[in-house]
Structure 1
Amino acid sequence: MDLLAAIDGYARHLELDRGFSVHTLRAYRSDLADLAGFAATTGVDDSAGIDLELLRGWLWRGSTAGLAKSTLARHSAAARGFTKWLAASGWSDGDPGHRLKAPRADRHLPRVLTRTQVDGLLDGLAEKAAIGEPADVRDLAIIELLYASALRVSEVVGARVADLDRERMTVKVLGKGDKERVVPFGIPAGRALDGYLDGARLLLLGSNPDPGTIFLGARGTSMSTRAVYQLVAGLLVDLPGSGPSGPHAFRHTAATHLLDGGADLRAVQELLGHASLATTQIYTHVSAERLKESYRLAHPRA
């Protein structure tokens, strides 16, 4: 089968059968297109010509070009999934990617805000929201919900008014792989959402058709992930601390604070929507590092 046609078929499989997100599909397509380009330089343009030597050569080229370990690990994962699908679909005699290995991606601890920092940010947003500008009221509700429920940014912007249970203080969201889950939020987030939904949202909507999503932009349409990224980046830019300054910082922070407070790891896994407990366990390392740092700063004989 033509290699580019095979990549298209695999992408359709990931989208329709596996429910991969648009962002993941874009990354896999890009990786496999790069593989096809490398294969073409060796005279291979058919899926049957993909073998372990070619795959290793592709990764080696990336390594010598200075690609990060995380990128090489993603390349390897994309290739393994692709060759496994080729074998299962009958487009190749075997699965050469089964033996493909890549360097382990460097694991960096996620950025976590202190409770004092979170309180300061939310207090500042509440002061601005008290003036009554619709966008300020909305922004307070977004950050309260991000921190209260440890949601992904895509889940926040995709959440719908109909899926919000204000009495039980829960919201139903659509996570990775189109998996639905119901997550709780606390009283401060509920108060911020009430203030937004009962006034500011109607002002933002105006005479536009209601898209049904909770959070709206200035034109009354569904808020974009980019807009939330810009909001969070603006809030975190002057705060001390290293690491990314996007909405995931609040997700990491919420998970870590829950574990610091004694929450069960599996309960945190369910809240975050992680398929594997191993993914959630990174936050136990964060908690341990925070404990050691507190010890170093506070103990007289540290």
Structure 2
Amino acid sequence: MTFHIDFKGEKVIPVRAGQTVLDASLAAGIPHYHACGGKGQCTTCRVLVLHGKEHLSPLSSYEKTIKTVRKFPDNVRLACQSFVTGEGVQVQRLIKDDTDRYIFINGAEESSLTEVMGVRRKLALFFIDIRNFTPFIESHLPFDVIHIMRRIFTLVRNAIDHYGGQIIDTAGDGLYAVFGLDSKIRKATEAAVLAGIKILEDIKIFNNTYMRPYFHHAFEVGIGVHVGKVIYGNVGIGLNNNLTVMGYPVNVAARLQAATKELNNSFIISERAYGLLRNPPYAPDAALLNLKGVSKALEVRLIGKPYEHGVAGETPA
């Protein structure tokens, strides 16, 4: 009996009974990597099953072992260990050239294959920016600037870590984190809000006990939180944790943080995110924001406080 398998973007090929997917692809002229010679030991013949995984043979003992060690997702199979048992199977080769081989074999050692392949899921997106930092930079020694930045970022990181978030990137005097990599979106949103509230309180304490006594200066922050379906994965370029998160909701969250100046409120959350909270903080004020690149006005809640030193947040040193 002969079935057919669709290699996405390449060709549809026949697969005979008793013939592995790897053997069939090689016979059809597809340059399928198989460094170990098809013995289930190198994983270079791995394929992503797009459709019809129920029409493939059960996992072999080699695949079960590799799945445990490498944390392969359920829709990744070794072509040398897989047999087709019905029609409607579509796969995609994950390693097509030497560059792919380096990314998937070398890079996957440092992160899960799931992250290397990319995942789409709902996350809570958290942007924070430190206000009043430019005047501090202009009037203090480089050592003081870097030291205080480290103090503030440690404070922020501790709050984010405490509530299960993960910092994705830093830029100047701001950073970007996500919540929900290991939790449902409702819990992730609540964690993001709790982390933001903790940061606001910790910054206030830091100002009163350290910045004002020793530097005659105070900092404020602007926080924006939104939720949405994004793509995250490990880009493997050796920077930070290599994890990146992309998508339209990310841009919205960043613009909410920027709008804290316009609305003169330290913490802005989208109505979509606010609606997920089981015990939402008191938010007497709401607003409609026309964000750059967003066609419809976005409803938001103001759950922070007005800036003590004005919208621009300029505090004399």
TM range (shorter): under 0.3
Higher helix share: 1
Which structure would you say has the larger Rg? 2
Higher strand share: 2
Q: What is the TM-score of this pair, normalised by structure 1?
A: 0.24
Q: What is the TM-score of this pair, normalised by structure 2?
A: 0.24
